[in-house]
Structures are given as structure tokens and as C-alpha cells.
Copies of this chain bind each other. A is one copy, B any other.
Amino acid sequence: MAKLPPLLQQLIDALRVLPGVGPKSAQRMALQLLERNRSGGARLGAALTAAMNGIGQCQQCRTFSEQALCAICSDPRRAEAETLCIVGSAADQLAIEQTGQFQGRYFVLMGYLSPLDGIGPEQLGLDLLAKQLASGSISEVILATNPTVEGEATAFYIAELCQQYQCTVTRLAQGLPVGGELEYIDGSTLAHALSGRKRF
């Protein structure tokens, strides 16, 4: 192993795409899989291939989905809800869903406005959002973006967009730690922030 076998070196390099995995832990992961769990490693390979190719986005709310409409958008009780919760990512949606306190619909931005990175209203699907607002079926928009600079800026932009339509715009209650990331906040704090939401 003066020079590693090419397939092993490629695996170590490829593992670096995982968040928080540096060269040393990538090497450790690759060798451990080869030594102790080849079937698990092969299963992970197949799962990655299937997921990266097979998971698209819901045509209505943009969350990850294998079908044209996700489970929530195709649930008739929720599809009729007049409250739309706007979140920055699927992880944030999942965090709110896990509080069990919200029965409405979602819109998942999959990012925040960031002109320097080329992320504008189009990349966040705000034209799709405008169409849904224009349909008149939504009476309240909850802006559940991260309490960060990008999250706030995006929330202001969407709040202005909502002004053209007859809908109330609210934000999650303060109580979220400033500068924190929604995805990592515990469920009960999040549930309180949700029930105490304020008019924007």
C-alpha cells in the first residue's frame, strides 16, 4: 500500500463529499467498510445511486419527492389548508413537521437569496410561489426562514411579494436563538416559536 489500490484511493476521495469528512476520516471509513462490512458498503453504494437519480422535487412545494407531488401535497386534508409555511430547506421542513404542531402546507425554498452566488428569486422558485398566492387559496403565509442575515433578507423579499395578495404574513415567534440554524433547534422550542408567531 505504498500507493493505494486505485479503487480504494477513488473511494477515499469520493467520501470527502460528505459534510464533516476530512482525509483522515475518509480513509478510516473506507478501510473499515472493506474490512468489516462490505455488504453494508455495497448497500450504501446502491442507496446513493438510487437516491441521487430517483429523488426529484415536488412540483407544488419543491420538497424532495419521488413522485410529482409529495406526501403532504397529495394529502387531501392538507392540500386544502389555507396556511402556507415557507422554509429554507427540506431539513427545516422536517424539523417543523416533527413538532406535530402544523397541519398546513409548505413551500421549500431550497436556499436563500444570495446574489453573489447567483441565487435569485428564480432559483428559489418564487414564480411558482407567486402563482400559488395568486390562486387565492392561501390566507396566511408563515415565514419560517432561518434567523440569519440571508434568512431575514429572503423573508423581507417574500413579505413584499405577499403584499400584492390578500394574505396575512407572519413570522415564527422570537425565541429562536439569533444567528442559529433552524435545522438544529429542539422540537419544543420550535413548537413554541410556531404557536407564538407574530404578524410580519
Contacts and interface: CB of A to CB of B under 8 A. Distances in A.
A94 B11 CA distance: 16
Interface in A129-180: none
A18 B44 contact: yes
A81 B93 CA distance: 61
A33 interface: yes
Interface of A: 1-8, 10-11, 13-15, 17-20, 25, 27-35, 37-55, 63-66, 70-72, 75, 89-91, 93-94, 97, 110-111, 183
Majority DSSP secondary structure for residues of A touching B: helix
- Give how many copies assemble into the complex: 2
Contact of A71 (B3, B10, B111): B3
B14 A47 contact: yes
Contact of A29 (B19, B71, B110): B19
Given A14-B40, A45-B46, A91 B51 contact: no
B33 A17 contact: yes
A117 to B, nearest CB: 11
A182 to B, nearest CB: 13
Contacts of A20: 25
A97 B2 CA distance: 6
Contacts of A14: 40, 43-44, 46-48
Contacts of A94: 1, 4, 27
A29 B114 CA distance: 23
A112 to B, nearest CB: 12
A28 B18 CA distance: 9
A29 B70 CA distance: 21
Contacts of A7: 47, 50-51, 54-55, 66
A46 B46 CA distance: 8
Contacts of A66: 5-7
Nearest to A29: B18
Nearest to A72: B2
B1 A72 contact: yes
